[in-house]
Structure 1
Amino acid sequence: MAAHSLLIFSLVIYATAFSINLSHADPRTDYVMRMCGKVHVQNVSNYFKYYSNITDYMQDEIYRNKFAFKDVGEPPDRLYVLAQCMDDLTNEECAMCFTQISTLIPSCFPSTGGRVYFDGCFIRAENYSFYREVLGPEDTKRCSGIVNKRQEFSVAVDEVLSQMLLKAPSFRGFASMHETSNGISAYGMASCWKILDRDLCSNCLSEAVASALSCIPSTEARVLNAGCFLRYSDTSFANDSNGGDYSEEEVFSYVTYIMGVGLICVFAIGIGVCVGKLSYRRKIRLKQSKETEDLVLEERVQYMQFKYATLDTATQSFSDSNRLGRGGFGEVFKGTLPDGREIAIKRLYISRKFRVQEIRYEMDIIGRAQHKNLAWKHFQSSTVQEIIDKSMAIEDAEEIQRVVQIGLLCTQESPNLRPTMTEVVQMLRKEGVELPSPSKPPFTDELMELNYLGSFDRHHPSGLST
Structure 2
Amino acid sequence: MGIVGRMRVVFLFLMASGFVSNLMADPRTTKAGFQCNSTEAVSSVLLAQNFVPAMANLSTLVNEDGFGTSVVGEAPNAVFGLAQCFKDLSSIDCQLCFSEIRSILPKCYPDTGGRIFFDGCFGRYENFSFFDQGVDSVQLKNCSSSKNSSQPGIFKEALERVIESVSLEAQKNQGFAVASHSVSNLTVHALAQCWESLDKKTCNSCLQASASSIMSCYPGVDGRSLNAGCYMRYSNEVFWNLSRHTGLSAGRKALYIILGLAVGGFLILAGIGLWKKGHLRQSFGKSLKDIYGSGLSSALAHSQLNFRYQELRQATNNFDSSNKLGQGSYGSVYKGILLDGREVAVKRLFLNTRQWIDQFFNEVHLINQVRHKNLVKLLGYSVDGQESLLVYDYYPNKSLDHFIFDENQAQILDWKKRIDIIQGVAEGLSYLHEESEIRIIHRDIKASNILLDDKLKPKITDFGLARSFAEDQTHLSTGIAGTLICFNFLSEVHARE
Partners of 1:249 and 1:308 in 2: how far apart?
58
> Which residue identity lines up with residue 245 of structure 1 in the other structure?
G
> Which residue identity lines up with residue 35 of structure 2 in the other structure?
M
List gaps (5 residues or longer) in structure 1: 1-21, 316-322, 324-347, 376-406, 412-441, 450-466
Partners of 1:231 and 1:56 in 2: how far apart?
29
**1:224 corresponds to which residue?**
226
Structure 1 pair 359–200 and aligned structure 2 pair: CA distance change class (3 A): farther
1:311 partnered with 2:311 = no
> Which residue identity lines up with residue 188 of structure 2 in the other structure?
A
Matches within 5 A, 1:27-426: 27-143=27-143, 144-148=145-149, 149-240=151-242, 241-242=244-245, 245=251, 251=258, 258=265, 282-284=302-304, 297-298=372-373, 308-311=413-416, 351-356=447-452, 360-361=459-460, 372-373=474-475
Is the contact between residue 213 and residue 225 of structure 2 (CA under 8 Å) also seen in structure 1? Answer: yes
Structure 1 pair 254–141 and aligned structure 2 pair: CA distance change class (3 A): closer
Partners of 1:294 and 1:374 in 2: how far apart?
20
1:51 CA displacement: 1.3
Structure 1 pair 293–308 and aligned structure 2 pair: CA distance change class (3 A): farther
Structure 1 pair 311–200 and aligned structure 2 pair: CA distance change class (3 A): same
> Which residue identity lines up with residue 309 of structure 1 in the other structure?
D
List gaps (5 residues or longer) in structure 2: 1-21, 283-297, 308-363, 377-399, 401-411, 423-443, 491-497
Stretch of structure 1 that moved more, 195-204 or 49-58: 49-58
Q: Secondary structure at the match of 1:203?
A: helix
Q: Secondary structure at the match of 1:117?
A: strand
Is the contact between residue 48 and residue 350 of structure 1 (CA under 8 Å) also seen in structure 2? Answer: no
> Which residue identity lines up with residue 373 of structure 1 in the other structure?
H
The two structures have a TM-score, normalised by structure 2, of: 0.54
Stretch of structure 1 that moved more, 33-42 or 173-182: 33-42
Is the contact between residue 190 and residue 228 of structure 1 (CA under 8 Å) also seen in structure 2? Answer: yes
**2:390 corresponds to which residue?**
none
Is the contact between residue 49 and residue 350 of structure 1 (CA under 8 Å) also seen in structure 2? Answer: no
Structure 1 pair 196–350 and aligned structure 2 pair: CA distance change class (3 A): farther
Is the contact between residue 139 and residue 228 of structure 2 (CA under 8 Å) also seen in structure 1? Answer: yes
Q: Secondary structure at the match of 1:53?
A: helix
Structure 1 pair 77–182 and aligned structure 2 pair: CA distance change class (3 A): same
> Which residue identity lines up with residue 197 of structure 2 in the other structure?
I
Partners of 1:76 and 1:41 in 2: how far apart?
8
The two structures have a TM-score, normalised by structure 1, of: 0.58
Matches within 5 A, 1:439-450: none
Stretch of structure 1 that moved more, 185-194 or 59-68: 59-68
Is the contact between residue 297 and residue 360 of structure 1 (CA under 8 Å) also seen in structure 2? Answer: no
Structure number, greater radius of gyration = 1
Structure 1 pair 374–122 and aligned structure 2 pair: CA distance change class (3 A): same
Structure 1 pair 295–92 and aligned structure 2 pair: CA distance change class (3 A): closer
Identity across matched positions, percent: 23
Partners of 2:229 and 2:191 in 1: how far apart?
15
Give the CA RMSD over aligned residues: 4.8
Structure 1 pair 73–350 and aligned structure 2 pair: CA distance change class (3 A): farther
Partners of 1:124 and 1:249 in 2: how far apart?
35
